[in-house]
Structure 1
Amino acid sequence: MATTYTPSEMMDRNSRSNRYYRNAVERHWDPGEIALEQDVENLLEHVESTPGYDQQRWKGTLSGIAKFGAGEDAVTEDLAPLATVLEDLDDQLFLTTQLYEEAKHADFFDRYWREVIWAVEDELGWERSNPRDDVWFNEPYIELFDRNKKAQYRLLEEDTPENRAKAYCHYHLTVEGILAQTGYYGMQTSYGGEFEELPYLPGLVEGFTKIRSDEGRHVGFGMNQLKKLIREGVDPELIEDTVAELIPLVQGITEDDRFQPDDAEPVGLEEGALAAYAVEKHTDRMQQITDAAAEIPDVDELVRLEGDD
């Protein structure tokens, strides 16, 4: 006799988590296939043609890339506790794709440093820089990722709805939904060919575009989980207060100008643009989560940047 399955023992193909899982399967990409040769050529040309360009300015170019690379390493490690405590099959399916994608993102930034940054430094006769050197990470960056790690591992000690909400607030909403989204805006705008004073880096931009597509699903999943937790009784003020405590750290990261020479003319985005963008993302996310009538945007809308078609 054939086994009879109840719906709870099978996937819910119509659930948002399952749709995100299928979307991830359909949008697979390989970080090893992104062409990086033009980035090397364009960076070398930029360094050699810019009067007064020195290793201090080079550090300014590397700072954002280093922060992203280390951040992807950290979130790859810190997602494991959530994968352990989730009991819903479709949530588990989605999270397997997120773990895999975070690893791919870390892979891309590692490859970029090896094949682009070191290639340029070797050509210029400069000492190879270390992408994990403490110099790249200011205090707000360290504190934000420390707090995120603690919020995730707290689930292994006390898995409550409130602690789950805090975990999603730290990881999916703040680190990915606000900080990373702001970083995409800054990096893709800066190195997308819009500013003559900055090098055009097509490989880096393509990598960010692929990563942004992945993280749209990650952010949407976290927002949907938070919305469900609110419906089940978690106080919306807990979510608002948790994120409000983290926003100053995001702003401290986006305003990190330690590698900007004192006598250098500002180039690229106007001062304060990234901080303002972070606040805008925060406002949007909170309204979408806490307003019972608001819908979670689809993947493409969640990661849309100004200028996208």
Structure 2
Amino acid sequence: MTMHAGGARAAYEGQRVDTSSKWYRLFQKGVELGTWNVEKLFEEVGLEEDREQWESMAQDERDQVRYLLSGFLDGEREVAGDAATNLSRIMGAPCLDDNEEKEMYMTMLTLTEHKHTQFIDVYMREVMDDRDNYAELDPRRGTRIPIVQATGLGEVFENQGLQTAKAAQTRDPVDIAKAATVYHLNVEGILARVGGFAINRISEAAYLPLLNHGFKFVSTDEGRHITHGVNLLKELIEKEERGEPEYQGVKQGIIDMLHHDAPYMADFAYMFTEAMGDPLGVDIDDVLLRGGHLIDGMYNESLGLDLDYLEMINRVSDRYEEIKGWNLQEIVERQEVHYDRRRGVAADGAGGD
């Protein structure tokens, strides 16, 4: 072991593990920063202030928080499942370099995704009522929280599941690019980041210290996940630009996934529209602008795809104009009737076994 100038310790060297790899460094950051303990966080920050604030909030304010967290709950549950299965297989694909370090990092990503699910699930149960949790309904079996299915988020999560499953099966570079785009850029880079932005805004109107504190950890974790996805896509793009035959179509695949998911991601912004009253002052215009900047930063600045992000904002704005006329409560109630029917079938089936 040697010392760098200034007294900093040099990295250890391994035989099978390349400790100089950027993927190894991401793994190590996860070890250092991603091991926050959800139960200890509950004990240290406490639940009482959040519970008191929740009890004091008006129903429309509660709905805005509930809808937002419901989207996170279903989304985190979905990404955790995909990380544990399909993404781990993808990292071992022959077309990817430094496979050992990528697979190491994926173990840390999987752990943090499950912790995000743990935090949100317990928070909703302990602080809020669990009306929208639907604990017995598992999205892996095709049933999602009503607000998620009503607003189109379910379509994004379904696309993520399809793309990651296909890429794990084929290990084709274009399929891997599509899967990484949906998972790391669209779901984590846009949806989760914009959702975190909305939670910060909500905190200005409703003091929920435990929720805020937890999401600081979630946001830090997601930042590493996005870095992983961007680096992975850069590798694939570089090989396409070198003219390697099997990588041709990578860039178009990335763009196609953004175009596919963007309208559905916009649907979930319904909760921030004037139709909902926006009681906690999130402001749809700021949300859309934040999303546009994220698209520009990831797709253009990081990946060099030269997308017109203003055009994307306009597409989302057009979709926003459409969904302003929705009667969300009516749509959610229809979903709840459907889910109650599913519950009844499950109960009858269980009784007959």
Distance, in Å, in 2 between the alignment partners of 1:26 and 1:114 is: 29
Distance, in Å, in 1 between the alignment partners of 2:153 and 2:37 is: 28
2:31 to 25, 37, 50: 25
Is 1:63 the counterpart of 2:67? The answer is: yes
Instruction: Verify the 8 A CA contact 1:255 1:272 in the aligned structure 2.
Output: no
Distance, in Å, in 1 between the alignment partners of 2:113 and 2:165 is: 18
Instruction: Verify the 8 A CA contact 1:186 1:274 in the aligned structure 2.
Output: yes
Distance, in Å, in 2 between the alignment partners of 1:281 and 1:151 is: 22
Q: Map 1:287-302 onto structure 2 (within 5 A).
A: 287-291=300-304
Q: Secondary structure at the match of 1:13?
A: coil
Distance, in Å, in 2 between the alignment partners of 1:290 and 1:25 is: 27
Scaled by the length of structure 1, the TM-score of the pair is: 0.79
Number of aligned residue pairs: give it. 263
Superimposed CA distance per residue, residues 45-77 of structure 1 (whole angstroms, 9 cap, x where no aligned partner) = x33xxxxx34x5532331101111111111111
Is 1:245 the counterpart of 2:256? The answer is: no
Q: Map 1:277-292 onto structure 2 (within 5 A).
A: 277-291=290-304
Distance, in Å, in 2 between the alignment partners of 1:164 and 1:277 is: 27
How large is the Cα RMSD of the aligned pairs? Answer: 2.3
Distance, in Å, in 2 between the alignment partners of 1:260 and 1:207 is: 29
Unaligned runs of 5+ in 2: 1-12, 93-98, 135-143, 241-246, 306-353
2:104 to 85, 89, 93: 93
Percentage of matched positions with identical amino acids: 25
1:202 to 177, 201, 209: 209
- Identify which range, 209-218 or 135-144, moves more after superposition: 135-144
In structure 2, relative to structure 1, the CA distance for the partners of 1:260 and 1:69 (3 Å cut) is farther
Instruction: Verify the 8 A CA contact 2:194 2:291 in the aligned structure 1.
Output: yes
Aligned residue type for 1:22: Q
Instruction: Verify the 8 A CA contact 2:272 2:282 in the aligned structure 1.
Output: no
Unaligned runs of 5+ in 1: 1-6, 48-52, 119-127, 293-309
In structure 2, relative to structure 1, the CA distance for the partners of 1:19 and 1:237 (3 Å cut) is same
1:270 CA drift (Å): 2.2
Structure 2 counterpart of 1:76: 80
Aligned residue type for 2:216: T
1:251 CA drift (Å): 1.6
Compare relative contact order (CA 8 Å, sep 6+) and give the higher one, 1 or 2: 1
1:19 CA drift (Å): 0.5
- Identify which range, 10-19 or 229-238, moves more after superposition: 229-238
Structure 1 counterpart of 2:281: 268
Decide which structure has greater helix share. Answer: 2
Structure 2 counterpart of 1:220: 227
Aligned residue type for 1:270: D
